[in-house]
Amino acid sequence: MNFKFTSLISILLLLVLATGCGGDGSGDLDSGTTDTDTDTDTDADTDSDTDSDTDTDTDSDTDTDSDTDTDTDTDTGPDSGVDSGPTITASIELARWVLPATAVDSATPFPVTNTAANVTAGALTLSNLTPSNYVGSFVGNLWPSGALDTTMYIEFSVTAQSGSQIEYEQFDSTLYNNYPGNCSWELRSSADGFSSALGSGVVTEGTGIPIISGVPLSVDLSSVGTLPGTVTYRFYTFNNSSSTINGYETSRGLRGDSWYGQDPLVTGKVLTW
């Protein structure tokens, strides 16, 4: 009984002592309130608003408008963008071969004498004929007495220069036929490969073979058309017959103004761009 009482007393005493130590600070070791308010407000507002607005507006508007206006207009003139059409001459002499009042050696090509602007022309030449020397005339001897031989002819050419074309109209000259006899003739062109006659005629002895002035030749060239470049013409005679004079038979050719005839002449229009 005494033991229990003693124990109770001891517990109460300990409680009193305990309350004394936790009082309001009188007599206790107040070692200071180290109010370490380490308000570590590490508001590291690292607003790395890396607004790298790399507006790479690569507007490579390569408007490659290669408007290659290759106006393949078969006209030979340059395309200036405005097709105003060609300049066209009136009917003019395109080329004339003036045969002089002296002997003309047909062994040598006879050059053109006059040409229009933007036109050139080739010489009178013989093919597979015996040359001769006649005043004011370009003549070959020994033409065929039978059918037309396409290897035997007098040739000449007319050329439209670059940027031009020729509208062919007429060929005029005089057939040299100094010795009486029969004769057929034709004029052909390279426009159709010499396949057809542009003009032809027949002369019969005693019915229109003037001894001095020869036989007028006039050939419509309109069927050749309007062409650029070169057109070559060939004059043929065939079915020839005549008397033999001075050792020559069937002498035929082209007679000029200087000897009672007409110089070989081509007329037409020139178109230029």
pLDDT score at 70:
43
Which letter, b or e, does each residue of 179-218 get, where b requires 16 or more Cβ atoms within 10 Å of its Cβ? bebbbbbbbbbbbeebeeebbebebeeeeebeeeebbebe
Question: Alpha carbon 266 to chain centroid distance?
Answer: 28
Q: What is the pLDDT of residue 124?
A: 98
Supply the pLDDT for residue 263. Answer: 98
Percentage of residues in the chain with pLDDT exceeding 90?
Answer: 54
Taking residues 203-232, report their average pLDDT.
83
Angle in degrees, CA 223, 91, 94, rounded to 5: 80
What confidence tens digit (pLDDT) does each residue in 49-80 have? Answer: 444 444 444 444 444 444 444 444 444 454 55
Token pair in block for residue 165? 């074309």
What is d(CA 174, CA 208) in angstroms, rounded to the nearest whole number? 13
CATH topology of domain 87-272: Jelly Rolls (2.60.120)
Domains of the chain, by residue range, sit at: 87-272
* Token pair listed for 71: 């106006």
Average pLDDT, whole number, for the chain? 78
Model pLDDT, residue 129: 95
Report pLDDT for 34. 41
Region 242-248 average pLDDT: 55
Binning pLDDT at 50, 70 and 90, where does residue 251 land?
confident
Angstrom distances, CA of residue 72 to CA of 60, 78, 85: 33, 10, 14
Q: Within 13 Å and on the Cβ side, how many CA atoms surround 104?
A: 25
This prediction's pTM: 0.69
